[in-house]
Structure 1
């Protein structure tokens, strides 16, 4: 005869259920706190505890990528290794472009792609931008790896990058911690930028790196000043292109402006209420700069 469930046994049972679910979803929990509070649970919990949740999500999480032709979409595992392929690719008259970045790029890429398709109907344009990503945290999304992976797989000759608003926080690299905005943080961040640039140079892929705009959030604004300096100096070393947004959106050392003064239309709202993102008009201003760059190159 089965023993009746006493209150103590019920508590233990529910505790085991909660513990099991927590372990199975530990990776997601870590990601949630990282995106919301920039706290990495993985810095306080042994790495082996993440194995069950990582295996569970690796089986479920397949990332689709779009192509410009009519073939069915393929899927690749997010954690698949970068294939070791050696090839030399020259930039021809037809652009094959990867758009990489965070939520800022999510607003810019669709507008830029729509315009570029009109100019280059035979071109290939793929938007892989994803919100809450950047270069500081890459446990869940590693942009240098993703750019290399997709460039080799899809034959891109140009990569447009617009990211960084999620990055002005401490960098954790194994057991090392680089405090923002220390010199050590800047060196570590520069190294991650260079991971992209070194790969691109080796495979003759042109990089267009879009600088961060003026911000109304002090920490992000201060980060943008440092990050833009790194983006500009490093792209110059490799003879790549850096597009500054300050000429149209205001210098980073000036007060934040939500409106753009137009001689005919008057004050035009270009920035969102959060002081980071844009209105559709603002996104188009950035997109126009990217499109102009392609007109000059192709």
Structure 2
């Protein structure tokens, strides 16, 4: 009996314990489910907040970068595609006919090559009444040639202008003599005229502040000298051929730092004057600097101290651009280095072609001041600024020298320019060395 009672008691206790355990486990599961749901909600809220924050941060940084670098994007577009991104007239330019492109290029050349000889009225001699009218006629007015006009004229043009004026003066002398003879015959007076000697009494030309024109010294290099190539993508195609020819023929080494989409207009993107100055200072064996620039420069560019961009061809633009050319030439002169500057060739697009005509006038004038070498390229490539041509004719055959973009050269065109550079160089052997 005791056993049964004890058994029944234990059984009741076990049932109550099982119920308690079940209730506790159910409660624990509910609490766990509630806590898990809370965690899921918290995680979802945190992920949503973090995604929003990341998106907002990315959006703000993107706007900031666009605001900071929109100028550089415009500059890259101009340098790469040679057109303004928002003010481009490419569609209009492509629709222009060949006749309109020729007229625009002719107007550009007429503006850049306009040169006149002007008489100064202040220096006209006063006429004396007591002097014989024929002798008065022989006192020729002095011709004052302005320095700016003479810089643009060549020697041959100046001589032609002076000879033409001599002929006009001699014709006037003859007319005056004939008129005096007629008046004297009417008054029955024998004229006593002295013969006019045109050759002995030529008009005297007074030239003030005329710079003397000197030919640049020839480019002489030895085995110990180096050649430095600087320029844009035009130079990138020509420099390797010149390097190969120099080393193969004369064992002369070269340095090629030419870089695509560079020029003198945007020193913040790439500063050529500083790069050239540092390279010349680091390597004293450099004796020749070859420069080939232009297609990336005929655009507006910023100037320190001015809020707006300097417009292309404006006085401020030209002043700043000339200073950058002069900086390169002065650095070369300080290191006793000769410069060979290649003219920018004709371009297919009329607007870009007009820019090359203008830039070449700046290059040429600054080169003449320092008596350095300037190599024209149009004749070598068989084109002119009035008419673009991608081919040259040799032995009744047409050879393509320009790429379809109307800017760069084919390998044949690059070799032609490389040979022209080589013809400017004179090799001198060192004492004690003999060629094999």
| Alpha-carbon contact 1:225-1:252 (below 8 Å) kept | no
**Structure 1 position 204 matched with structure 2 position 333:** no
1:10 to 51, 72, 88: 51
Could you state the TM-score of these two structures normalised by the residue count of structure 2? 0.52
Which one of 213, 238, 246 corresponds to residue 370 of structure 2? 238
1:248 equivalenced with 2:377 (yes/no): no
Give the whole-Å Cα distance in 2 for the aligned partners of 1:178 and 1:205.
32
Larger Rg: 2
Matches of 2:291 and 2:233, distance apart in 1: 12
* Structure 2 counterparts to residues 121-270 of structure 1, below 5 A: 121=251, 123-155=252-284, 156-176=286-306, 177-250=309-382, 252-264=384-396, 266-270=397-401
Compute the displacement of 1:183 (Å): 3.1
8 Å Cα contact 2:377/2:417 also seen in 1: yes
8 Å contact kept, 2:243–2:253: no
Alpha carbons of structure 1 residues 219 and 92: separation in structure 2 relative to 1, 3 Å: same
Which is worse superposed, 26-35 or 212-221? 26-35
Change (3 A) 1:102 1:27: farther
Q: 1:14 to 1:267 in 2, by over 3 A?
A: same
Q: Which residue of structure 2 lines up, in the alignment, with residue 278 of structure 1?
A: 409
Structure 1 position 291, deviation (Å):
1.0
Q: Check whether the contact 1:164–1:224 (CA below 8 A) recurs between aligned residues.
A: yes
Instruction: Give the structure with the larger strand fraction.
Output: 1
Per-residue Cα deviation, 1:140-191 (whole angstroms, up to 9, x for no partner): 2100000011111122221100011100001211243210122332222111
2:424 to 272, 286, 293: 293
Alignment-derived partner of residue 64 in structure 1 = none
Shift in Å, 1:35: 1.3
TM-score by length of 1: 0.74
2:226 pairs with 84, 90, 96, which one?
A: 96
243-252 or 109-118, larger mean C-alpha shift: 243-252
Equivalents in 2 of 1:297, 1:222: separation in Å? 40
- The runs of 5 or more residues in structure 1 that have no matched partner are 41-90
Q: Secondary structure at the match of 2:302?
A: strand
> Structure 2 regions of 5+ residues with no counterpart?
1-38, 86-219, 430-436
CA deviation string 1:235-277 (max 9, x = no partner): 111111111102222454321001111124x111110111000
* C-alpha distance in 1 between matches for 2:246 and 2:304: 41
Q: Distance in 2 between matches of 1:120 and 1:20?
A: 56
Report SS of the residue matched to 1:167: coil
The answer to whether the 8 Å contact 1:213/1:250 transfers is: no
State the match for 2:432 in structure 1.
Answer: none
Q: CA deviation at 1:93?
A: 2.3
1:36 aligns with 2:165: no
Deviation string for 1:202-254 (max 9, x for gaps)?
11111110111110022221111011111111111111111110222245432
Q: Distance in 2 between matches of 1:21 and 1:241?
A: 49
- When the two chains are superposed, the root-mean-square deviation of aligned CA atoms in Å is 2.8
Q: Counterparts of 1:23 and 1:115 in 2: how far apart (Å)?
A: 50
| Structure 2 residue matching 1:207: 3-state secondary structure | strand
Farther off after superposition, 213-222 or 15-24? 15-24
More helix by share: 2
